[in-house]
Amino acid sequence: MSLLVVGSVAFDDVETRFGRRERILGGSASYFSMAASRFAPVRMVAVVGEDFPQETLDDFAARGCDTAGIERAPGKTFYWRGKYSPDFSTRTTLETQLNVFAGFTPKLPPRFCDAKFLFLANIHPDLQLQVLDAMTNDPFVAGDTMNLWITTEKPTLEKLVSRLQLITVNDEEARQLTGQWHLLQAGRAIQKMGPRTVILKKGEHGALLFHDDALFFAPAFPLASFVDPTGAGDTFAGGFMGSLARDGVVNAASLRRAMFYGTVAASFTCEHFSVDGLRDLTLERLDERFAGLVDFTNCG
Distance CA 95, CA 101 (A): 15
We find the least distance from the C-beta atom of residue 62 to a second copy, in angstroms, to be 31
We find the least distance from the C-beta atom of residue 182 to a second copy, in angstroms, to be 6
Out of 208, 232, 245, 278, the only residue in the binding site for a second copy (CB under 8 A) is 208
Single out the segment in contact with a second copy by CB under 8 A; choices: 34-42, 150-158, 182-190, 273-281. Answer: 182-190
39 lies in the binding site for a second copy (CB under 8 A):
no
Q: Are 259 and 207 in contact (CB under 8 A)?
A: yes
Nearest to a second copy of 62, 184 (CB atom)? 184
Cβ partners under 8 Å of residue 195, min gap 6: 161, 164, 165, 166, 167
We find the least distance from the C-beta atom of residue 297 to a second copy, in angstroms, to be 4
Ramachandran sector of residue 166 (left: φ over 0; alpha: ψ -120 to 50; beta: rest): beta
Q: Rule CB under 8 A: which of 217-256 touch a second copy?
A: 217-219, 222-226, 253, 256
Distance linking the first and last C-alpha atoms of the chain: 34
Q: Are 201 and 170 in contact (CB under 8 A)?
A: yes
Draw the binding track, 65-94, toward a second copy (x: CB under 8 A; -: no contact). ------------------------------
Please report the sign of the dihedral spanned by the C-alpha atoms of residue 211, residue 216, residue 217, residue 221. negative
Annotate 49-86 with DSSP letters as a single string: -TTS-HHHHHHHHHTTEEEEEEEE-SSPPPEEEEEE-T
Out of 62, 184, 249, 283, the only residue in the binding site for a second copy (CB under 8 A) is 184
Distance CA 128, CA 121 (A): 8
Q: Rule CB under 8 A: which of 2-31 touch a second copy?
A: 17
We find the least distance from the C-beta atom of residue 86 to a second copy, in angstroms, to be 9
Q: Are 255 and 209 in contact (CB under 8 A)?
A: yes
Nearest to a second copy of 41, 219 (CB atom)? 219
Tell me the C-alpha to C-alpha distance, in Å, between residue 274 and each of 23, 92, 231, 280: 10, 17, 8, 13
Out of 215, 248, 279, 283, the only residue in the binding site for a second copy (CB under 8 A) is 215
129 lies in the binding site for a second copy (CB under 8 A):
no
294 lies in the binding site for a second copy (CB under 8 A):
yes
Instruction: Calculate the dihedral angle through the C-alpha atoms of 180, 186, 192, 193, rounding to the nearest 10 degrees.
Output: 80
Single out the segment in contact with a second copy by CB under 8 A; choices: 1-9, 38-46, 61-69, 198-206. Answer: 198-206
Q: Are 198 and 191 in contact (CB under 8 A)?
A: yes
Out of 76, 124, 257, 272, the only residue in the binding site for a second copy (CB under 8 A) is 257
| Chain contacts with a second copy (rule: CB under 8 A) | 17, 181-182, 184-185, 202, 205-206, 208, 214-219, 222-226, 253, 256-257, 259-260, 293-300
